[in-house]
Amino acid sequence: MKNKKRILLILFITILSINAFSILYCMNYNKKDVSITVSDKLLTSASDPINLEWNRTWFEFFGWEAEGNAIALDSLNNSYISGFSSGNIGKSRDVCLVKYNSSGQLQWDRTWGGADIDIGQAILISSTDDIYIAGYTQNGFLGEMDIFLLKYNNTGGLQWYNVWGGSGEDYCYGIAIDNNNNIFLGGYTESWIAEGSAMCLLKYNTSGGLEWNRTWGGGFYDGAVGIVVDSSNNIYLGGTKGYDLCLVKFDNSGVWQWNRSWNTVGRKWGKGITIDSSDDIYLVGEGTYLVDNETLGWQICLLKYNKFGDLQWSKICNNITAPDLIPSLINGITLDSSNNIYLAKKSIDDNLEIEKFDSSGNKKWDYVFGGTWEDSCNGIVVDTLNNIYIAGKLDNEVYIGKFIESSPETTLKEVPGYNLWPLIFVLSVVSSVIVLSMSLKIKLLKKSK
């Protein structure tokens, strides 16, 4: 009888341990490859709302923080997200690469980095479905901060990496590819000028060899935040020159063609660039304006240029009265097949936000949602059916969501996930009750004897 009691006690403690672990696991519900329902703050017009098709969050097991900064699609609409993942508090940040299929099922994930900071800021998929990630690293390759380029195959195998920089800080925020599969990086450098920063442009071949590099500008806040290539393989850098939005064109050999600057009143920063099938270029930026003699405001600016540098139109939108300086809101820009414009944003109240404009820069709708912590929508892309995919951060985890424009909804739809821990929790509770009943029954039988 004592052995039986001892066995029941061990079994009971084991089940309770599983029970406790499953409770803790379920409390932190945003786990790898799990569908979620988030707080929905829908702000759309009646004609152009969007619905959630599926969403997922990802982070490294026992990770402390993760964030998706960029997203790209391959020929089968598999989605690839890059950003960073960090372990426990104080641990380094590593580049992360996460692949989902078109239904939102996790295929694989990879990380890359050293003991310090490594962050993926831009991603593209080539015509052969190779994956290129660009960003910056603090792991002592060349200087204080260096630009890196990684190449993976479509099964997640690292093919090669390359690092560029000088003795100072160098950052990459944009990546593009030409018709010959040459890779171009855009960012800014502090290594090659006496003071301030300058735009930098790098060209790599498919083997990872650096073909050439260029710098342009030089001064405070000069730098590129994005890069595009047109149908003739000309290159355009979008960013900031001083406190103005700036667009610079180079030919495929890195020869400067022209540059354009734009501003109204106040300080403006370039935040993104994209290009359409007619080689028209779209710039987005944001910055301050003077509401009156004592009050600053914050506004978003949309510009459209043709390939000759002629401004087609400019739009000022979302004027916000801001007694205190508002932090950066715009993180990404893309187009659909009709040249409607989509922005990936961080809302004023630290939620994810998607905003749509028509091809003339007129606002159609915006969509805001988030979790319990500081969230942000950082990357955005639209597929051939005009479905919208975003990447960002939700409750300190990488977030990806697929959205479809359709009938109005007041809340996000919950998508069935793959988390088995709630089921384990229920089964462990039932098992605990059974074991406890058996234990009581044994005690009663012993007393009756």
pLDDT digits (tens, 9 = 90+) for 407-445: 544 333 333 333 444 444 444 554 554 545 555 454 444
218-222, 277-281, 316-320, 346-350, range with the lowest pLDDT: 316-320
pLDDT at 61: 64
Query: What does the alpha-carbon distance between residue 87 and residue 69 come to, in Å, rounded to a whole number?
Result: 18
Beta bridge pairs of residue 175: 185
What pLDDT score does 26 carry? 38
pLDDT tens for 157-185 read 999 999 999 999 999 999 999 999 999 99
Q: What average pLDDT does this structure show over 270-290? A: 94
Strand partners, 83: 68, 96
Structure confidence at residue 383 (pLDDT): 96
Report helix, strand and coil shares of the chain as percent, to nearest 5: 10, 50, 35
Among 317, 228, 319, 315, residue whose Cα is nearest residue 272: 228
**In this structure, how many other beta carbons lie within 10 angstroms of the beta carbon of residue 64?**
15
Q: What is the DSSP letter of 167?
A: S
Closest CA to 380 of 408, 360, 405, 399: 399
Residue that the structure tokens 């979008």 belong to: 238
DSSP β-bridge partners for residue 112: 95
In single-letter form, the type of residue at position 153 comes to N
Place of tokens 């799990």: 34
Instruction: Tell me the per-residue pLDDT of 55-69, one tens digit each, with 9 for 90 and over.
Output: 999 987 666 789 999
Q: Which amino acid is at 100?
A: Y
Rounded CA Rg of the chain: 26
Q: What is the mean pLDDT of the chain?
A: 83
For residue 125, what pLDDT band results from cuts at 50, 70 and 90? Answer: very high
For residue 110, the model assigns a pLDDT of 96
C-alpha 251/C-alpha 253 separation (Å) is: 5
**pTM greater than 0.85:** no
Counting every residue, how long is the chain? Answer: 449
For the stretch 281-311, pLDDT in tens is 999 999 888 777 777 788 899 999 999 999 9
- Output the six-digit token pair for 287: 């910055």
Answer yes or no: are the C-beta atoms of 275 and 281 closer than 8 Å: yes
Mean pLDDT value of segment 125-132: 96
Angle at 442 between CA 441 and CA 443, to 5 degrees: 90
Check pLDDT > 70 for residue 28. Answer: no
Separation of alpha carbons 95 and 336, rounded Å: 28
How far is Cα 343 from Cα 332, in angstroms, rounded to an integer? 6
> Is 199 within 8 Å of 221 (Cβ atoms)?
no
Range in 209-218, 296-305, 344-353, 434-443 with the lowest mean pLDDT:
434-443
pLDDT of residue 14: 54
